[in-house]
Amino acid sequence: MKQPVKMGLAAVAVVTTLSACQPQTAELPATDATDSAETTAMTTINVTYPTTAKGDVVDTYFGVDVADPYRWLEDDRSAETEAWVVAQNQVTQGYLANIPYRDQIAEVVKNLINYERVTAPFQEGEYTYFYKNDGLQNQSVVYRQKGDGEPEVFIDPNKFSEDGTVSLAALTFSEDGSLAAYQTSTGGSDWREVYVMNTETKELIADKLDNVKFSGLAWYKNEGFYYSSYDKPEGSELSEKTDQHKVYYHKIGTSQADDIQIFGHTEAEKHRYVWAGVSEDNRFLFINAANSTSGNRMYMRDLTSENTDWVTVKEDITSDVYALTTDGDRLILVTNEGAPNTKIVVADAANPSVENWRDLIPETENVLTPSTAGGNIFAEYMVDAISQVKQYDLKGELIRTVELPGIGSAGTFSGKENDTKTYFTFTNYSTPTTIYSFDIESGATDVFNRPATAFDGEQFVSKQVFYTSKDGTKVPMIITHHKDTELNGKNPTMLYGYGGFNVSLTPRYSSTVAAWLELGGVYAVPNIRGGGEYGKAWHQAGTQLQKQNVFDDFIAAGEYLIENNYTSSDYLAIRGGSNGGLLVGAVMTQRPDLASVALPAVGVLDMLRYHTFTAGAGWAYDYGTSEQSEEMFQYLLGYSPVHNVKAGVEYPATMVTTADHDDRVVPAHSFKFAAVLQEHQTGSNPTLIRIETDAGHGAGTPVSKTIEQYADIYGFTLFNMGITEL
């Protein structure tokens, strides 16, 4: 099945009057890690925050007036916002430059990220393709080889731009591999350009497409491909609301202006997210259409017949479904319709509606994520966030349980119908991602690529614990640290969380996490509600009017680490990105005493207005909106980080991180949160914002920027835990 990747996740008032607030100064206490903050000498870094003007914008919700004094920071194109960004970055970089071991941390990160990274190979036409990064290349390079010949460079994204900020975002091939279409992202933006290449000559053909967003490239034979996009906004392309996703068909050799409208172009077909997929036999076109990040409609069309109408597979939008593969007239679908942990069903192409579905691989007590290769189904089950894999044939008969090399996360197991071999990855927090080859007929497994890194995973241990949240719910958490770590309450500890959108945090190796461990840190990841670790029910228990469960689970994780002497509040940092940035923002405002450091990254922080930017309205399934009902408005107002920073409270040392080209979660969230924190922070803890330029929500970030980012994040964290030297 040629499946695109599913991505995910009101007028703007004009500020007319601005009044200045006074600059503030913060003094930072820094102490030796072996002594308490009360008994050690003080080191200070004086911070004078830039003046942030305040406007007089007030919104009224259900008769309640809510001031929004920093609304002007939402205008990402204004000279005033640009000047504010420059001033804040100057202050932040000035502060970070005074941390004595920042360069030392950068060397640790650089040393651990500097190893050859290779992906699993895949066959297209006469060539085998793979991605490889020599270690410090900003972007991974696509290589290919024919048979046993020498590999050659196919696409080198490092040549797209001098600074590595233009990345290769997707690459797909036509049926016989003679053509390739790839997407590029500039500065991390979700808006993409598409190029088409003759793979034999490696020359581009004149089929460039502009302004493509949230799209796969689904090829039909060698003739063309389907893609998705929105109409280009009239205002800022980085923040303007995008609300009607549309599918087009691009025929090779024609202009983008002549692309055929396929779905989503009428009011009746209007959806926020629409994706196209073509079956491997080129017989069926599938359309998945959704208005939020959970639940979709599904339609299909037989491409072997001209002018056929859309056939409805599922009209109800309260559950999810997508096509896994096809087998002649049989459609093999993945769904959580009536199965919160997901199941695989089969339907007849002649009559594929829900009432005619038959279970092929029924739901179990564990969450299912399947893939296909060599005419087989590989069913990965999540058991307390840890992988188990079973191999089935297309009749649903169990062939074998795949033996994995340990406790961790397995992935990939994908390929074409006629493949005899597939590949899978295996990783955990202390095991760099290793690639294994798998013989589909015999089940024989061999190591294909085991990376040679500077990280000695044998020196570290991971332990899964179960702790009790506020309402009595048992929540799993994996804690990783050096095997000689003494549980004395003084270990620098990073508590990382997400808790939303059915996303599961499974154990995976990261060079940057390895750097934290090498620096003597403890790394803890709880599988809190809102995620998908225990299926749809676990997800829904952290949505809308139950969102507080997510924050309570995270707070309880921090309390567990403190109670069990892994750390103490003086040495605890809380971190998360995107929806996890919301998590950190909510927890630090609800429990400012829990941690000494807070690190909200690219966070959703203004819960009253998030749905007015880019594709934010699609997040309403998880959050609800301030316009939905008075009850929902009051609930959102009760935890929205921007609206819950109070004067007279000492918040943790905070470094908000965002990027100026983030068009997923617009940087205005972070701008406004940093401004209100700087206005109200009491005490000596610094409140900084680090704004990456020419970067987006995270994907495609150059390696050089990654090293700089983590040197700053870890340096800020350790220094504000009172650690003066490493």
**Is 661 one of the catalytic residues?**
no
How many whole angstroms separate alpha carbon 95 and alpha carbon 25? 12
Sole residue written with tokens 């979700």: 190
**222 HSE (CA, 13 A, CB side):** 10
- Edge-to-edge strands of the sheet including 431-439? 409-412, 421-428, 431-439, 445-449
- Eight-class DSSP state of 11: P
Q: 478 with 429: CB under 8 angstroms?
A: yes
Output Rg (C-alpha) for the chain, integer angstroms.
26
Contact indicator for 669, 606 with CB cutoff of 8 Å:
yes
Label the pairing between strands 358-361 and 597-601.
unpaired
Strand duo 493-496 + 522-526: pairing: parallel
Are residues 524 and 495 in contact, defined by beta-carbon separation less than 8 angstroms?
yes
Catalytic annotation, pick one of 245, 643, 661, 697: 697
Q: Which residue has the tokens 């990280």?
A: 455
Cα 621 from Cα 618, distance rounded (Å) = 7
203 phi, psi to nearest 5 deg: -100, 140
The one catalytic residue among 371, 504, 578, 640: 578
Q: Tokens for 222, please give them.
A: 């060698």
Q: How far apart are the C-alpha atoms of 9 and 615, rounded to whole Å?
A: 8
CA 349 to CA 331: how far, in whole Å? 6
Tell me how far apart the alpha carbons of residues 251 and 260 are, in angstroms, rounded to a whole number. Answer: 8
Let me know: does 1 contact 218? Beta carbons within 8 Å: no
Contact 197, 184 (CB under 8 A): no
Q: CA 288, CA 273: separation in Å to the nearest integer?
A: 8
Map residue 705 onto helix, strand or coil. helix
Active site positions, annotated: 578, 697
